[in-house]
Amino acid sequence: MLDAALLSIDGLCVAYDGSNALNGVSLQIRRGELICVVGANGAGKTSLIRSISGIVPSSGGVVKMNGVDIAGMPPWEICERGIAQVAEGRQIFGGLSVEHNLLLGGSLKRAKATRLETLEFVYRLFERLRERRRQLAGTLSGGEQQMLAIGRAIMANPDIVMFDEPSIGLSPALTDVMFGVVKRLHEEGITVLLVEQNVAKSLALSSRGYVLENGSIVLQGSSSELLSNTEIQRAYLGM
């Protein structure tokens, strides 16, 4: 049975230069869930992820992790509380080796004790990274860099991993690989918040979904309900 809310967001607002990017967004993720937030480019998806992780300050609302309000905490403290982010654009350290990138991801207090075991798990998940472990991260292909970004997040021993557009810039074949990785992480017991433009694949993978438009949640429900919704089919699925 799924636990009570692991991550709870109530009335979250984010503004840039007086313009609202998020308008009172509320959602909940229970431990063990894989949920998605979908929407078009510019809907506010990245602002949501960055606000949860403390990179972008909120202008209102509450963000609770395990019942503790984390809004206003610095990003490193939010990471220590069990939230890891796979950022859009990967943001790896190109001048360091693959393995050094991964070990940096495991440098948090919560992760140090099991860092080597987690590293082996990452290498089992991504055999390509094991093969490239001594290679400079900046010389990897785009798909390999995305694998590294995901592996680095896993190294933090998180309770929840947030994915910000993991398929962006990838070929259709690599997009399928990435969604397969997200599915496997969920099967390993990691709670997942997936933020994506690929509505069909995201809803097919998740149990519940939220649709974000112009900074507001306009639809929510089970993924099967959203997939059968005529508005979703017309606006996002080309049906």
Reading the chain (239 residues) residue by residue, the pLDDT tens digits are 345 789 999 999 999 877 889 999 999 999 999 999 998 888 999 999 999 999 999 999 999 999 999 988 999 999 999 999 998 777 899 999 999 999 999 999 999 999 999 999 999 989 999 999 999 999 998 888 888 999 999 999 999 999 998 888 778 888 888 898 899 889 988 999 999 888 899 999 999 999 999 999 999 999 999 999 988 988 887 75
CA distance 138 to 82: 27
Tell me the CATH class for 33-56+73-236.
alpha beta
Q: How far apart are the first and last CA of the chain?
A: 35
What pLDDT is recorded for position 1?
39
CA distance 172 to 67: 39
**Is the alpha carbon torsion for 151, 206, 53, 67 positive or negative?**
negative
CA distance 24 to 14: 9
Is the CB of residue 86 less than 8 Å from the CB of residue 150? yes
